[in-house]
Amino acid sequence: MAPELDIPPRFYGPLLETTVRIVTWNVWGRYGPWQEREAAVIATLTDARPDIVVLTESWTTAEDSQCARLAGPLGLPHHAFSGVPAQEDESALSGVAVLSRWPITAQAGMDFGALRVQQATIAGPRGPITVYGGVMDAWWPDQGRQRQEAVRALLEHLKTSWDDRTPLVVCGDFNADPDSDEIRMFTGRVAAPVPGLSFYDAWEAGGTERGCTWANTNPWATQLLWPDRRIDYVFTGMPRRGGAGHPLAAELLGTRPLHGMYPSDHLALQADLRY
């Protein structure tokens, strides 16, 4: 006779059934026909209806910003941004933006070696959500050491954000494949830099097939002569009460051209998380 199972497990308590939708997307700054690409970004995200969006290689100038341009169409009026001088346009800053449907109560831009991060604490309707959006500037395959040092430093910092009730989300463009040591640090497949801190990989939990966000079906991506790669991620801290942050579904966005144009050289990653 099979033993009786405790469902849901008492470890988490009653599991949350409500969700939050998060999208991370490297939108490739002001490269190429960026206005036309941005229109495709807006159209794609409007259809997705996310609650929180992390944009890497987002931009701002003295007169304008991508956050301001997207806020109205997407219904995401709250944002945080930090950046550095853009390579493609000396009048702009390029960086990481967090856009939210709900108020941002705290924010900070930080650097962890090769990893630039924008943090935002979001006052959602069912409690706070802590988001760290990042872009890894060490993007060539032989720069694994720089990426590992950056991820280790980030994880050591994240220990200060530990809260067993609050979803902790780390997402963005890490320029590393799932089998790399830097990504395996998040998921516990190598020795954890910070004991007690580990993460779900949203694509592993809720996606299908390979989930490549750098794909040669996208003509903007073929210039680097890379194979198809999964290099953009949504990580969520575990465990949390009620399974807060547990990924239930994940999918790619921006997989087809709109009006003959792909929105970016990366595909976007969408994740639905318990919240």
24: left (phi over 0), alpha (psi -120 to 50) or beta: beta
Q: Is residue 140 part of a domain?
A: yes
pLDDT of residue 207: 80
Q: Specify the pLDDT at position 163.
A: 83
Q: How confident is the model over 167-187, as pLDDT tens digits?
A: 999 999 999 999 999 999 999
Sheet holding 198-201, edge to edge: 104-112, 115-124, 127-136, 168-173, 232-238, 198-201
- Residue 48 maps to a domain: yes
153: exposed, middle or buried (Cβ count in 10 Å: 0-12, 13-18, 19+): middle
pLDDT at 3: 57
Position 109 pLDDT exceeds 90: yes
Residue 77 maps to a domain = yes
Residue-wise pLDDT for 194-234, tens only, equals: 888 999 999 998 887 899 999 999 999 999 999 999 999 99
- The CATH number given to whatever domain includes residue 55 is 3.60.10.10
Rounded to the nearest integer, the mean pLDDT of the chain is: 94
Give percent of the chain above pLDDT 90: 87
Distance CA 73, CA 135 (A): 25
Asked whether the beta carbons of 187 and 198 are under 8 A apart, the reply is yes
Q: What is the pLDDT of residue 4?
A: 63
Q: Is residue 6 situated within a structural domain? A: no
Question: Cis ω on the peptide bond leading into residue 8 (within 30° of 0)?
Answer: yes
β-sheet bridge partners, residue 235: 170, 201
The end-to-end CA distance of the chain, in Å, is 36
Which structure tokens are listed for 131? Answer: 């988001």
Domain residues for 262? 19-274
Number of structural domains in the chain? 1
Higher-scoring residue by pLDDT: 114, 4: 114
Instruction: Tell me the per-residue pLDDT of 130-158, one tens digit each, with 9 for 90 and over.
Output: 999 999 999 999 999 999 999 999 999 99
Phi/psi of residue 146, nearest 5 degrees: -65, -40
Other C-beta atoms lying within 10 Å of the C-beta of residue 47: 8
- Cα–Cα distance measured from residue 137 to residue 97, given in angstroms and rounded to the nearest whole number: 16
pLDDT above 60 for 1: no
Answer whether residue 5 is part of any domain.
no
Q: Please check the confidence at residue 11 and state whether its pLDDT lies above 90.
A: no
- Residue 8 belongs to a domain: no
Q: Is the pLDDT of residue 9 over 70?
A: no
Task: Report H helices in the chain.
Answer: 34-48, 66-74, 144-158, 181-187, 202-206
pLDDT on residue 2 = 56
Q: Read off the tokens for 82.
A: 């930090």
